[in-house]
Amino acid sequence: MTMTLPRVLPLLLLLLLSSLLPTRGGESYAAISCRKHSASLVDFGGVGDGKTSNTEAFRRAVANLSGYAGDGGAQLVVPAGKWLTGSFNLTSHFTLYLEKDATLLASQDESEWPHLAILPSYGRGRDAPGGRYSSLIFGTNLTDVVITGNNGTINGQGAYWWDKFKKDELNLTRPYLIEIMFSDRVQISNLTLLDSPSWFIHPVYSSNILVQGLTILAPIDSPNTDGVDPDSCTNVRIEDCYIVSGDDCIAIKSGWDEYGIKFGMPTRHVIIRRLTCISPDSATIALGSEMSGGIQDVRAEDIMAINTQSGVRIKTAPGRGAYVKDIFAKGMTMKTMKYVFWMTGAYNSHPDPGYDPKALPVIQGINYRDIMASNVTYSARLEGIKGDPFTGICISNVHIELSEERKKLQWNCTDIAGATHNVTPVACHLLPEKEPAIDCPFPTDRLPIEDVQLKTCSVPYNYVR
């Protein structure tokens, strides 16, 4: 006995110490702002069993933590577990942090989805004329809000809503997964987002938006599951995202016909880079079709599209008004595409018969360069509007390999004007080869959103389970 005690003692001490001290530090992450205060969803009654509703826990947490907005802000940590929840709102100077094995599961109980008024720049809901369901995670009139994690998951469980949409059983427009409205300084990063009821991320009437490191996955036949839709927003940076969608991977918008024209809020200064997109029935990056507040200065680079319907696609129609101008894309690799280039001037979906058919959109200054595409059916379908041609189209250094199903008319051009250089197969006569050689422009200045520096923030160890 007396001989063994000294040998056991250090072990006992070690066990005692390890139960008192953290065995590992907290987790760190990069964000636009770090927070002084931290709390766990569990502190507010959250239960991560996948069955208990956490809607009230989230609402209590946000109500409580909004009290720290003036004192360094707060972060709400969602630990590992399955957290069923309905819609809840965010607050300012706030971070929602999802642990690696944390999954938010969107409730399929409609009473957990409050209703919101229609968007003023749309004049009606996209699915139904009336109002709309609040998104799963919603915020309005906020400053400095972060939704991030160590690749935690938000699962919209959208099948319930897709089914109602297909059966035409919706009285209100489907919820989005995340919508941030009238806000400034927003970061959404390092998460996996699954099966949104409709669009995944909808920043609207907002500025300084950073979207980074997202994996976004929806079945390729799910309705309207767009990845990221900046809508009437300024200064947007979307990078390092992998998106598989039933609709456009990115869609840049700014309101619909007479409602969008009246609201008059453009989307400007957008950079999209290092994006991988899979979307057999839609575009890698769409501009429109709702563009009635105008779209200007969009820069896309290092884009990969696989088994996708088109690359950068412009969608508009008489009635939209406004403009799409100063669009730049370079460095795109595409495999198995229906169209490499697609512009549509007859995207005739209108909110109501009250639109003005004389409100013609101006499409001008569209620049594409350094594109390699293989297994392509049509090189280009470029359809402007009669009496309102799309002008200033520049396409250079493009190599397209055609598929066995290639169509005879490779460049189908109507009501457009511009030039090309070093493009195969050779373009239509409306886009003549330019001599001397041109290289289509890409801006060399930096957008303010590119200079946003991230801080290293941490989640205290006692919240990491």
Ligand X SMILES: *[C@@H]1O[C@H](CO)[C@@H](O)[C@H](O)[C@H]1NC(C)=O
Closer by beta carbon to ligand X, 67 or else 357: 67
Closer by beta carbon to ligand X, 333 or else 414: 414
CB atoms within 10 A of CB 169: 10
The answer for residues whose C-beta is within 8 angstroms of residue 46's C-beta and 6 or more apart is 40, 54, 57, 58, 61, 78, 83
Among 405, 424, 437, 462, binds ligand X (CB under 6 A): 405
Residue count (the chain): 465
What string of DSSP letters covers 35-103?
Answer: -SEEEEGGGGT---EEEEE-HHHHHHHHHHHGGGTTTT-EEEEE-SEEEEE--EE--SSEEEEE-TTEE
Is 342 a binder of ligand X (CB under 6 A)?
A: no
Active-site pick, 195, 231, 247, 297: 247
- Is 247 tagged catalytic? yes
Closer by beta carbon to ligand X, 444 or else 456: 456
Of 79-118, which residues contact ligand X (CB under 6 A)? 89, 114
Candidates 180, 191, 136; CA nearest to 158 is: 136
Is 140 a binder of ligand X (CB under 6 A)?
A: yes
Pattern 165-204, binding to ligand X, x per CB under 6 A? ----x-x----------x------xx-x------------
Pattern 365-384, binding to ligand X, x per CB under 6 A? ----------x-x---x-x-
> Residue 437 CB, nearest distance to ligand X (Å)?
29
CA dist 317 and 260 (Å) reads 13
> Residue 338 CB, nearest distance to ligand X (Å)?
7
Span interacting with ligand X, options 5-13, 195-203, 224-232, 406-414, rule CB under 6 A: 406-414
Pattern 246-285, binding to ligand X, x per CB under 6 A? ----------------------------------------
Contact predicate 33/73, CB 8 Å: yes
Of 8-37, which residues contact ligand X (CB under 6 A)? 29
In the block, which residue shows the tokens 């897709």?
Answer: 162
Contact predicate 88/113, CB 8 Å: no
Of 310-339, which residues contact ligand X (CB under 6 A)? 336
Exposure class string for 372-409: b at 16+ Cβ within 10 A, else e: ebebbbbbbbbbbbeeebbbbbbbbbbebebeeeeeee
Is 458 a binder of ligand X (CB under 6 A)?
A: no
What string of DSSP letters covers 265-298?
Answer: --EEEEEEEEEEEE-TTSEEEEE-SS-TT-EEEE
CA dist 396 and 412 (Å) reads 17
Among 18, 141, 349, 424, binds ligand X (CB under 6 A): 141
> Residue 121 CB, nearest distance to ligand X (Å)?
12
CA dist 113 and 110 (Å) reads 5
Chain residues binding ligand X by CB under 6 A are 29, 59, 64, 67, 89, 114, 138, 140-141, 150-151, 169, 171, 182, 189-190, 192, 212-213, 215, 240, 336, 375, 377, 381, 383, 403, 405, 409, 412, 414
Catalytic residues: 247
